[in-house]
Amino acid sequence: MDLPGDVAEVLATSYREVSVQVPLRRDDGSLVVAQGYRVQHNGARGPYKGGLRYHADADLDEVRALAALMTWKTALLDLPFGGAKGGIRIDPATLSQRELQSLTRTFALSLSHVLGAYRDIPAPDVNTNAQVMAWFMDAYSSRHGYTPAAVTGKPIEMGGAPGREAATGRGLVYVVEAAARRWGWDLTGKRVVVQGFGNVGSWAAREFAALGARVVAVSDVRGGVVNDRGLDVDGLVRTVSGGGSVTEIDVAHTPIGLDELMTMECDILVPAALGNAITEDNAAAVAAAVVVEGANHPVTPAADRILADRGVRVVPDILANGGGVTGSYFEWTQNIQQFRWREERFNAELGDRLQSAFTQVADRAEDTGSSYRLAAYSIALDRVARAVRLRGYV
């Protein structure tokens, strides 16, 4: 790319990294002091944008890596945003709803001076959802006045956008449809394995099933289930939306271990749980034709090389799960205009943007003989580097 050294130097570190204590009074009267983070990697192309995750393993270094990923993702999708990420190091499964709300409000207020509709706009990520975003938006608005555009992924009643909740999983399938057209694939009957049946995984599974593909295995943190003739995805969604695990479905299936599921023979493997799901330990055994990264950073660099050597195609995270932030962009624009789109318009715009991003990546990969990941990064880096120069940062 001939990226100038001074630009590279700016992009190698974050613009701002905030680490805050988030004290929480538990229901039993005891005090927990959790650590919260917000990292703003680069804002040359627009306000910072990125999710908030509540997880026992969240730390500054992980948040930093995910913030940079958002810079490349928003640039690749050509959205007017920079990249950020945040989180709290806590296991929310141990908290009551009151505790979760209190934690979220304290976190929002302690970060509010670096956030805002034109400054930095959080969204849901692992273990956070529309309800958490509603509390976050309310706490922010209590200090700054009613500002729905300060947070995305909100409930529809509070300025959320119809289509946003499904956008990451649905967008992933739009990208796969564009890829299938380019590769001459018919998706009907294709075997799909999904690791992680949360927001991204469950919506991707639903959309694959709607296209006639066969979702043969899915998992969540408690275990996996398989049915070679295709799982009943609607049944799985019903079980999970009632608070259950995929392992509790009452439709035909056999159990499978979490590690075993990753190496099942299939056409499309969608890691949609957490990072580092495919490493040098299991990459040689992955038996999928294509890996589509629903999660952020599910394939380590070492595993990426092994998959490439074995001819397994990888559709990278910044493209495959870019539907989430694209949907957030639509929500943000609707909030600013105080105008609501119908879901059909939302999905049509989502499909257009993702399919166009896929075409740009595939063209660049073919022109340069590189992987989709390298092609996606080089397009994104190019755009960010230009903006950094035009802004006069270096």
Judged by CB under 6 A, the stretch of 7-15, 219-227, 301-309, 371-379 that binds ligand NAD is 219-227
Q: State how far the alpha carbon of 394 is from the alpha carbons of 11, 35, 188, 331, 386, in Å.
A: 11, 33, 50, 32, 11
Longest dimension (CA), the chain: 62
Report the distance separating Cα 314 and Cα 307, nearest Å.
8
Report the distance separating Cα 311 and Cα 290, nearest Å.
9
Interacting residue with ligand NAD among 83, 163, 294, 351 (CB under 6 A): 294
Minimum CB distance to ligand NAD smaller for 7 or for 334 = 334
Minimum CB distance to ligand NAD smaller for 274 or for 312 = 274
CB of 258 to ligand NAD, least distance (A): 5
Residues 310-329 that bind ligand NAD (CB under 6 A): 321, 324
CB of 394 to ligand NAD, least distance (A): 30
Please report whether residue 126 would count as binding ligand NAD according to CB under 6 A: yes
Residues 35-94 that bind ligand NAD (CB under 6 A): none
* Inter-residue contact 306 to 322 (CB < 8 Å): no
Residue nearest ligand NAD by beta-carbon distance: 198
Please report whether residue 233 would count as binding ligand NAD according to CB under 6 A: no
Minimum CB distance to ligand NAD smaller for 74 or for 335 = 74
* Inter-residue contact 388 to 42 (CB < 8 Å): yes
Report the distance separating Cα 173 and Cα 315, nearest Å.
11
Find the catalytic residue in 49, 73, 85, 154. 85
Minimum CB distance to ligand NAD smaller for 7 or for 87 = 87
Please report whether residue 219 would count as binding ligand NAD according to CB under 6 A: yes
Report the distance separating Cα 214 and Cα 266, nearest Å.
10
DSSP-assigned letter for residue 90? S
Interacting residue with ligand NAD among 200, 270, 290, 376 (CB under 6 A): 200
Judged by CB under 6 A, the stretch of 14-22, 40-48, 87-95, 120-128 that binds ligand NAD is 120-128
85 is catalytic: yes
Minimum CB distance to ligand NAD smaller for 248 or for 393 = 248
Q: Which helix (H) or strand (E) holds 214?
A: strand 214-220
Report the distance separating Cα 68 and Cα 42, nearest Å.
7
Q: State how far the alpha carbon of 131 is from the alpha carbons of 27, 104, 177, 339, 341, in Å.
A: 20, 10, 31, 22, 21
Minimum CB distance to ligand NAD smaller for 125 or for 177 = 125
- What 3-state class would DSSP assign to 257? coil
DSSP-assigned letter for residue 150? G
Size of the site for ligand NAD (CB under 6 A): 24
CB of 26 to ligand NAD, least distance (A): 22
| Residue positions annotated with a catalytic role | 85
Residues in contact with ligand NAD by CB under 6 A are 124-127, 168, 195-201, 219-221, 258, 272-274, 294-296, 321, 324
